[in-house]
Every structure is written in structure tokens, then in C-alpha cells.
Chain A
């Protein structure tokens, strides 16, 4: 066997040389230097001229490549426009959520000083719960506030930066200086000082800086305080404390568990250095709900997320540590994949020129399930000519498509308006379990909300409302409903009723619990409870009538609005509901993939003969690592290496007979073993059993 063939057999390619345990040494051939480092690529500054080209290539033409370039461009532009709007909205929500805590922390930082804390370091404990990312937002905004007012700044110290005392001090000092002066400013600061050169971790540097800038507050933020080594933290804090008379430190500790838990882990001497206040950042779940609500109930919305994706999104948000940012990234990905892979999404763009949508595009529309359903409905309704027209006349079809797109989008907006209305009314119930907007949305998107218990509950709530609450609800009714003539009438009636009532007392309907009276009668030593209506005033009766009318109107409204979105013609364009790319990308399964690749390598490799693929048996044609892995699966927790080797050799011997070169097989064996070791599947067993390997990964976990 020549060296090249051998190399092929051992599957040695050069990029593996980093982690290879076993390889065949080949002296480098003179003249040919394969391992010479590649020439450094000249850095090409990206100019503006190159951008449009790379831009248009982000999206590829669909419909078998027959989509027009303009269509591609339209999809891209629409996506960009849509997402930038939504991103702004998300940012707004995030800032709004933090605003309360920010002002609290800011005022704490401004007001406290070591004097007010009995000589301890002023400390703000911020518990963030599972909402880990909110702290960094908070800190950057705190920093903006402090630097813009010239009071000082925020220095963020991560546990990764703080491996030992020297390093962490260096990082603190550098971060504090670069925060306002920039990186060059830091270098200048180091060199420009009068006097001898100072060590990088000397807090004298920071002191100098503070004196020079007139800093009043220097906030040291430990973002993940739990991850700090307690001994290091104690050292660091005691150092800060001894400098407290010269440098105005304030410590901000980000805590993900709880203050008590954190405090018990610190030594007493460390705790006694700190004194301060506890702040809580709002929980992530709430934030996620608000983002979702803002995205879906947008009155100008064009694209909606379907039911499957919604439930996937919220599953992840409730089951895992997930930040609101990660949530919005997932939404972004969903949105992007819609525009990336669905040619119909071009319809959502601003340009509606018919030239954009031709040929294959029209054909695609005619193949939609929703188109088929629409045609069937038309035939049933007795207008086959219309169907024929749609099938033959491209222009007519396009008109209808745009029409129905508008209608469908309006229906979606209505659905979500109804959802918000139901949600708002349910807030008035006394019950402990309240459905969130997300729950309601999932049901609405599945078309189940209309018949569900929730609507009944909501109507019952409306019935029991007193006049004050009703006033509020009427004011928030969606426009579609309040323009209705019956409702307008109802509103005026209600208004006059309110004006004519004698004093400002609340009106109650007969459904209200306060209006019914429970009578207790004792009949033959048995107690009978009977409910009767309390005497209602005339106005209350009037009010009851109004309530009845309102409930009837609402019922009608809900049955009309709450339909299955999947029944709308052209819902493929404005409703995105494919679970798969999202799930695969945000919850990958590398372990499963590795196990499968090792267990049945021909699922992935192209084999020369079909026989290899059909038989699941171990054969010598498989990669060595895969063979060894399958042998390894057969063994128990401890494997004798020699036994493994014998089994390995036997496979090769059985196929190649006497031609088998034991030395090459041995090399393969060693290579495979080192691969398994690299995967973390085997490790050396205890010292007593030096000739054994211990299994450290089991199949199917």
C-alpha cells in the first residue's frame, strides 16, 4: 500500500492534525511546503459600492429559480422594513420595563454615600431572576445617565474577567478609564502621568483618574456575582472598602437566585463590608408576553405568527432560561424564514405592479390549498364562471388575490382586537387564574376561541359589571365594534342613563352577585336556600337591559370575528406557521446526531454498494471509529482493551481473510480509540485496572 492510499484509509486529512491522537508520520518533502502558513489576506475595506450586490444575494430566487429579481428584492425590502418597525417596538417595551428599576437604582446611586451606610460600601443588590439579560441593559443605561451628567460611570466586571485579584483590578481600572477616555485615552493616561510608572493594578491609578475627572460616583457592577469566587470577592471588596475614603465606589451586584442565598455563601467578614438596598427587575415572562402582544395586535400589522410557532415560543420561554432578547431573536428568525422561503411574501410589499407577479408565481397561487378551498366554496355557492375566470385570467386572479389579502389581514387584526377585548374584560374577574394574551392568542389562532369556556366566562363577567367598570370597557371597545349602529345606540342609552341617575351611586345589573338575595327558609327542620332577586330600582332594571343588549352584541361579534385563520384565502402569505426550521435551529440535537452517525454511518456516507446500506451489521467498510463505537455499545461499563482490539481485528479478518495487515488495522484501531476519547465516550479506568477502559456515555439518554 502506498503512503497516499494508507493516508486515505486512515482518513487523515490535514485539518485534523490539531487533535489527532494517532497519525502516520511523514517527513515533509523538500521543496513542497504544504504546511506553510497561508498568505495573509489583505484586508479589503468594504465600500459602499459593494453593498447592494451582496444585499440582493442574501435572498435567492425561489420558484425553481424563476422568480424575478424584483420579487426577490421586494421580499428582502419588505422584511427589512417590517422587522425594523417591530424591533423598535420591542426596544421600546424593553426600555419601558426597565424604566422603574432604573430610576430607583439611579437615585440610590446618587443619594447614598459611605456616610449614609455607616462606613460600609453602598451596595445595590439587583435580583434579576431568570431575566438575565435585563441587567446589562440596565447597566448600559445607568452608565449613559452617569456619564452624560458627568457624575461618573459604571464599570462592569464579569466573573470571567476576575480570575485573580490582580487581573480583576487591572480590568476595573482599565474599564473605568476607557469608559470615558477611550482606549487611546487609557494608554495616554498611563504614560502621561507625572512620577514613576505605576503597576497596572494599583488603585492609585484609579484614584488619580477620579481626582482628575472629579468623579462623584463610580459604580462597580458585578454582573454575575454568584459566579465569583467568594474568596476573591472578599479580597476585592475589602480593598475597595479601604479605598472608600478616596474613591467613591458603589457596588452593584447582579443576583440571579436570591439575596439570602447569596448572602449565606459569602463569609461574614465580607457581608459586613456591604450595606445597601435590594431592587427587583421584572420577570422575563411578563416582558415576553408584552412583546408578543405588541407584535401581534399591531393595528397596522401585515404578518402574523401562527399557532404552532406561538406555542413553541412560549414553551421555550416558560421552560428554559430565556431572555426577552432571545425571544425576539426567535421571532425575528421566524419572520425572516417566512420572507426567505415563501415567494408569496412578496405580495406583502408596497409595490403591486402586475409585472412582478407572473408566470410561475401565478401558478404557485393556483396550487395553494387555500385557493382550492376558495374555489370549492365558490362552486358550492353556484358561481362556476368565477372559478373558471380565476383559473384562466391571470389579471383577474391577481386582483382577487390582493383583495383577499386585504380582507384576510383585516380579519386577522379583528381577531386580535377581539383577543385584547376579551383579555381586558377578564382582568375584572375575581378568579385567581387569569389567561394571558398568549394563551388566548394560541386559541384564537387555532380557531377555538369562539367556542371555548373563556368567552363564556368573559360574557359572565360583563353581565356582572357595575356601571363604572362598564364605562371603562365601553371606552376600550375596538373601533370595528363601536362603529356598529346597535352599539352606538347602546352607548347613547347608557350615557343618558348615567346622567339621569339621582346621585353618583353605581348601577348594578340583576346578574350582579350583590343584587341577588339568598333566602333561608326552614321547612320541617330542613333548610331551604332559595335565591331571589333583590328589589331592583327602575334604573337598575334599565341598566340590566343595556347589559343584555351589550352581551348579545358581543356574542354576535365574537361568532363573526373568531374564525379559523387557516380558512382564509391567501393565509399562506400573511400567516407564518411552520414549526420546523425554528425548532431545529433553536433546539439542535448534536448528541443524537453523533450517536446516529456513529451507529449507522451509511445514513450519512455514500457507499459504493447498496449491500452496505441495507445491512445494519458492522462491516469493515465503515469508518473505523464507527466500528469501534458499535463494538463499544455491546460492552458493559468496563471494557478490556485487548478484548476490544480482538473484536475489532476479527471484523477485518472475516472480510479480508489473510490479506489483512494487522499493523494497519492496529493503527486504525488506535485512531478510532482516540476519536472516541475525544468525543468523551471512553476514559481510562481506575489505576487498579490499567488495561480497562471505562464507558462514560450511554446510548439513548
Chain B
């Protein structure tokens, strides 16, 4: 079969990949020797593996495909390669001859593969293609794995190794010269629209076929221009969005609403004008995948109500009283600089006017500071200014930060809150780790119902530990990894060393709301909270 024929037979099912199909068909031609190694690369959802499989089965070349994403370790991959080869050659029952089905190293793989390819019957002796899918995503791969696999084809003459990559390869990444590369570029606008139009129009009950044939092509290209093109969406998302929006888009026609110009004949332009809101809201939410899909509207009449805030069913969880208080204290401990503890949490100065003034003063200063930090961060995100990490100014208020903060403070009051999502409305931006003893101390300071006689009801601390363990399990409070690196992320480890530091892990808005429920005003304690 000529490469052109292969391309023609495949393009009916997988359109817009004729060039690549022809290239592959040429290289895999069973009657011609092919290059020992071949690299196929392209981003995901560009039809790489499907086309390769299609070409190989159309040409009837014996081949084995190994999905590298299913292999947990490098050794697993090698074993899989061996088995799949044996299976493809129909020698699965003779596995004991070939290293007892075990393969621990690439060099032994070369030997074993050569052996099993040599045992084939003479009439079957020809080219054998080994496709390694997504080989660049292999877990626990040794650094030399790729180049070693690329040599297999050189060692074994009848073998052709195809490496499928989903990232663009660096030049010479195989340490080898002149390996043919075939690129699968992302689909262009025209190709994407053609592919979508090649599949049948989603049927909508009550819509005349004629108008659907007229409107659908326009609709598809509009969807591409508004949603898919700007976000570099793939074909599956494109298709899903079209299927989802199409019934709502033509709903006015189906329901027999009268068109704006009078009469009932809708054309595309009128539908677009009518459905502008649909594109803005539905479309954007369609791009973001959620685990629980929002219920698609049964009738388009309810579109408007969908945009209303959802009912309280998905409201944030409610914690028991004691845990809420602990979480609040943890949040405060995380977001208050330690050196201000005596000012904010000391019981001795709580009532006097001067102390309150002092606290308010510090809150204001810290607020100004946090705004300055936000500014700085924004500036740092700007690519033109070099990002200087590690030298973040602590709580020192220099003249320049103050002045810059004052200059913009009125404008950015709301901007600080909207920025992170991790931090509260207006605080020192990042949560800092705190030791457990400090949490206990803060807890005693903010407790809205302090025990009447603290001597007879001592030690809530013991109960705090139990609750803290639960909060940790919920990942609301986490041990600060700090110098331990990622080691303490291991979830089995629940020991709490005395000096170990903790850090709060949720947004301040939520904690503020929870705390209000039990009668604690977070802003009152927080640096920069109330103003």
C-alpha cells in the first residue's frame, strides 16, 4: 500500500493529519528498511498515538505499544516492553526462555529483545516496531534511559523504536545524530473547525434540520474564536463545549420565540445577539472543569437564575466550637508578628484606653505595611523587575515603603484582599509558622468564654492536641515544613515535636466568618484588621 493510500484511508476518520500520516507510512513501509529510531512529538490531544497505531495496523507491520504512563518505575517499563513484545510476536507462552520474564536493565533488554526477534519463523522475519508512548513522562526514569532506548534500534537491525513525546525535544537530546523527527503541531483554526464540522451536528429536538445546517458552522467558528482559540483549547474540550452550548444557543428557535426584527425566522446574527450572555457566562464556566458539573439547564428560561449565587448547600463546613476557636487562634498566631504579641494578646493591658490606642496604632501601621508588601509583590511579578526572593522585608517599616504605601493606600484598600485568595482581607500577606505553645497562649487570650476560675479549670491544652490532630487531618492547619523540606508532608507522620512549628492553611475570610459564629471578632486581634 502506498503512503498516499494509507493517508487517504485514515483521513476519513482522523482528518487534517495527512502529512504526518504519509511521513509515518513512508517510514514504516514494510518493504523498505526504516530508520532505527523515530521521534514523534506534539502536545497532548494532537492525535499522535492514534495515527501511529492506525498507520501500523493499516500497513500490517508487527508492533508493540507500551504506555509509559502506566509504568511505575524504570524497571517496570523494561519488563513491560519485553512482555508486550513477546505478546505481539505470539511468544507469550515461552516467556521462561527469555530471562524468565524478568528484565532489570536496558542492556539485558537489548539482549532479550534480540533473542526473541531472532526466534521468529523466517517468513515472519521483517520489521518490528516498538512504540513507547509518552516516554518523556516516565516515572523514576534513569537519566540515560531515553538515549539508551534510542540505541536499541541500532543494536537490533529489525527493530524500529518510536519515541512519542508530548513536549518539544531539545536538540540532540538522544545524544545521537540524524534521528528523524515528526512533529504533530496543534490544529489550526481552520483544521479544528473542519474536524468539528466533519462530525454530525448534535441533534436538538424540534429544530429543523435545514436551519441547523445553516447555523451550526457559524456557531462552531464563533465558539472557536471566543473560547477555544484564546485559551489554546484542545479538540475534546472544543467538542464538549459545542455540544453543551448548542442546545441553549438554538433554544429561542426551538421554543418559537419571536425574533427581534419581528417574525419567527432567526438567523445566526440574531441568535448571537440574543445569546451574548450565554457566551460570557456559560462559556467561561465551561472552560473550567469542575468535579461536580453544574446542572445544565433543562430549559434556557432558567439561564438567568443560574447566574444567581448558588444555594447554601455548598456552604463552607461548620466546625465544632472548640475546633473553631483553635483554628482562629492558629490563624491569628500565623498572621501576627511575634514581637507584637505582648501588645495584642497580653491580658494586662487589655482594658486601658492607652493600650487600645496602642493596638489600633499598630494595626494601622501593619495594614499600611501589608499594602506596601502587596505593591512590592505586584512589582516583583512584573517581569521587568528582577525578583528578589529571600530578601523580603520583615516587619521593618522603612520610610520609603511607608511613603509609597500612603501614596496609594486609598486606592488599594480592596485590592489587597482580592489578590491572593490565601490571605485574609488585609493582613501581613503570608501565613507564618508558629510554635504550639504560642497557639496555646493566643488561644487563652482570644477565648470569648474564659473559665471563671482559671486555677480550677486548667489545661485545655490536652484537649487542644486532639483537636489539632483532627484539624491537621483536614489540612486546615499543617506542620510548617521549613527546614525539614518536604519530608513532613508524609501523612503518616503525626508526631508533634515540641519545637515543631505549625502553619494555618486556609483563607482568612472563611475563618473570620466561622469566628464570628462563636463570638470572636478576628479583626479586633489582627494586625491591620479593623479600619
Contacts and interface: CB of A to CB of B under 8 A. Distances in A.
Interface string B3-26: 000000000000000000000000
Given A243-B70, A276-B292, A683-B498, A165 B437 contact: no
Interface string B79-117: 100010000000010011000111000000000000000
A268 B287 CA distance: 12
Given A195-B95, A680-B497, A696-B499, A701 B317 contact: no
Interface string A659-701: 0000000000000000000011101000000000010111011
B316 A319 contact: no
A696 B441 contact: no
B315 interface: yes
B254 interface: no
Given A130-B319, A258-B317, A125 B292 contact: yes
Contacts of A242: 67, 69-70
B491 A199 contact: no
Contact of B320 (A159, A202, A280, A320): A320
Q: Which range contains the number of B residues in contact with the other chain?
A: 35 or more
Given A257-B476, A680-B497, A697-B437, A592 B459 contact: yes
A201 B72 contact: yes
B444 to A, nearest CB: 7
B411 interface: no
A-B pairs, top 10 by smallest CB distance, nearest first, are A196-B101, A680-B498, A592-B459, A159-B491, A701-B440, A319-B322, A272-B289, A319-B321, A696-B498, A160-B492
Interface string B181-220: 0000000000000000000000000000000000000000
A168 to B, nearest CB: 10
Given A196-B100, A197-B101, A276-B292, A696 B435 contact: yes
A224 B470 CA distance: 11
Contacts of B441: 698, 701
B487 to A, nearest CB: 11
14 contacts: A127-B317, A195-B92, A196-B100, A199-B76, A257-B475, A258-B315, A261-B506, A276-B291, A321-B470, A696-B499, A701-B437, A701-B440, A701-B441, A701-B444
Contact of B467 (A203, A280, A321): A321
A49 interface: no
Interface of B: 67, 69-70, 72-73, 75-76, 79, 83, 92, 95-96, 100-102, 139, 236, 240, 289-293, 313-323, 435, 437, 440-441, 444, 458-459, 461-463, 466-467, 470, 473-476, 489-492, 497-499, 506
Contacts of B289: 268, 271-272, 275
Contacts of A258: 314-317
Nearest to A321: B470
Given A196-B102, A589-B462, A263 B79 contact: no
A116 to B, nearest CB: 11
Contacts of B292: 125, 259, 275-278
B323 to A, nearest CB: 6
Interface in A280-307: 280
Given A132-B470, A162-B491, A275-B292, 8 more contacts: A119-B236, A130-B320, A196-B96, A242-B69, A277-B292, A321-B323, A592-B458, A696-B437
B463 A318 contact: no
Contacts of A228: 491
A682 to B, nearest CB: 8
Interface residues of A, number: 70
Given A197-B101, A242-B70, A680-B497, A129 B459 contact: no
B184 to A, nearest CB: 20
B475 A227 contact: yes
A195 B91 CA distance: 11
Nearest to A699: B458
B162 to A, nearest CB: 19
A203 B437 contact: no
A196 B72 contact: no
A227 B473 contact: yes
Nearest to A317: B320
A169 interface: yes
B431 to A, nearest CB: 15
Contacts of B79: 196, 199
Contacts of B318: 129-130
Contact of B240 (A118, A127, A203, A698): A118
Contacts of B489: 229
B29 to A, nearest CB: 30
Contacts of A322: 320
B445 to A, nearest CB: 11
Interface in A411-466: none
A166 to B, nearest CB: 6
A165 B72 contact: yes
A39 to B, nearest CB: 33
B69 A591 contact: no
Contacts of A226: 473-475
Nearest to A165: B72
Interface in A118-174: 118-119, 123, 125, 127, 129-130, 132, 159-160, 162-163, 165-166, 169
Contacts of B497: 680
Contact of A589 (B69, B72, B435, B458): B458
A15 interface: no
A257 B317 contact: yes
Contacts of A697: 437, 498
